[in-house]
Structure 1
Amino acid sequence: MNLYSIGKPVVSWFYHLNFKIQVIGQEHIPLHGGTLICSNHISNFDPPFVGINVPRELSFVAKSELFKIPGFNWLLSRLNAFPIKRGSGDRGALRLAMKLLNEGHALLMFPEGHRNLNDASLQKGLSGAGFFSLKTNATVVPCAIIGHYKFRSQMKVIFGKPIDTDRMKKNELKSSEASAIIMKHIQALIDQYTEPTA
C-alpha cells in the first residue's frame, strides 16, 4: 500500500468534515486507460479535492516552485505529483506526462496554468492540455470546481462527458485550438451548475 492509497481516505475525511460536497458526473471517468482530467483552478485546495472524488489513482502536474519547499517535495512526489516549469516549455515534464497517459494512467491538469480568483469566468488556457489531447489516445474529461472553500460551505465538482478528441485530430487542430475547445467544455459546466445569485 502506497502513501496515496493511505492518504486518500484521510484527506477525504478532512474535506467532508469541512465542506458540504456534491459530486456530479463521476460515471464519466473511465476506470482504466489513459485519462486526462482538465479542470478550472480556484484554490490550492483543488488538486486533493478532485483527487478524492476520482475513483482511481491520479497523477498531478504541480508548479516547480512547490518542489523547492524542504520536505514538501518528498511528500508531493509520493502523492504522484511531478513538477513543471510554467511558461518555459518544460520538455521533461511534457515527456513524463505523455508517458503516463500512454501507459494508461490518469492525469489531472489545470489548463489555465495558475489559480483564477474569478471563478465564474475562465482565463485563456495554456496549450499543454490541447497538446496531450492531440498527441495521445487519452480520454479527455472536462471538470469544473464550483464554490468557495469556506467552512461548511457547499463545494461542487462536476465531471463532464469525454470530449471528442478524434474530431480534433481529424481536423488537424493546433494545440492552442484544442485547448480552447477543452476550456469551452469546462466553462459550459461552470455555467450549467453555478446557482444564480439573488
Structure 2
Amino acid sequence: MFDTALTTADFVFLAKGAGMTIVVTIISVIAGTVLGIVFGVIRYQLGAIWAAPLIFVLDIFRSIPLLIQLVLANAFMGTILRLNMSGFTVACIVLSMYTAAYCAEIVRGGIEAVPATTRRAARSLGMSWGQDMREIVLPLATRVALPSWIGLALGVMKDSALVYVVQVTELLRSTQILITRLQEPLLLLMICGAFYFVISFPLARFGGYLEKRWSND
C-alpha cells in the first residue's frame, strides 16, 4: 500500500509556490516583451554600428548565467545602491531584462524577415514610418517571431526556479523545502514536474494553435 507523509497543507504550500512561479513569469514576460519590442525596433533601425551600446548591454544579459545575474543584482541593489528592494522585485527586474535581451533579437529577426519590397510598397502608398511598422511590419513579423517567443516564455518560466537565490519561494524551492522535511524526493519531484507541466502546457498549445491558424490564412 502506498504511504506518504504528504498532507493537504503541503499541497497548498506547493500550489502557493506554483502561484509565485506564475506571477514572476507573467510579470517578467510581459515587461520583457515590451522592452524587447522597443529594443528590437531600435536595434533594427539604427543598425549594428549605431546600436552598438545597446547591443553590448543586451549581450551582457544573454551571456552571463541568470543565477549570477540574480546574485549580483541583489547585492548591487542592497549593498551599493542601498535600496530596500524585496527579492521578488529584484527577481522580476532581472528576469525582465533577461527576457528583453532575447526578445529583442527575436523581434529584430522578425522585422528583417518582412520583404523589403513589401515595405517599399507601403511607403509608396503614402504610409508614414509609424503606419508602416504598425500596419505592415509588426503583424507580419509577429507570425515569424511567435514560435521563438513561445519558446522564450516557456524558458523564462523554467528559469524562474533560480529566483530562490534572492529568497523567493517559488515552486522548485517549495519542493526542496518539503523534500528536506518529508524525505520523499521522488514523489515530490514528480508532483513538482506535474505542476510545471500544467503551467506550461496551455501556453505551448495556444502557441501551436495560433501558428496553425496563421499558416492557413
Q: TM-score range by the shorter chain?
A: under 0.3
Point out the structure with max Rg over C-alpha: 2
Output the TM-score relative to the length of structure 2.
0.25
Relative to total residues, which structure has the larger helix share, 1 or 2? 2
* TM-score, with structure 1 as normaliser: 0.26
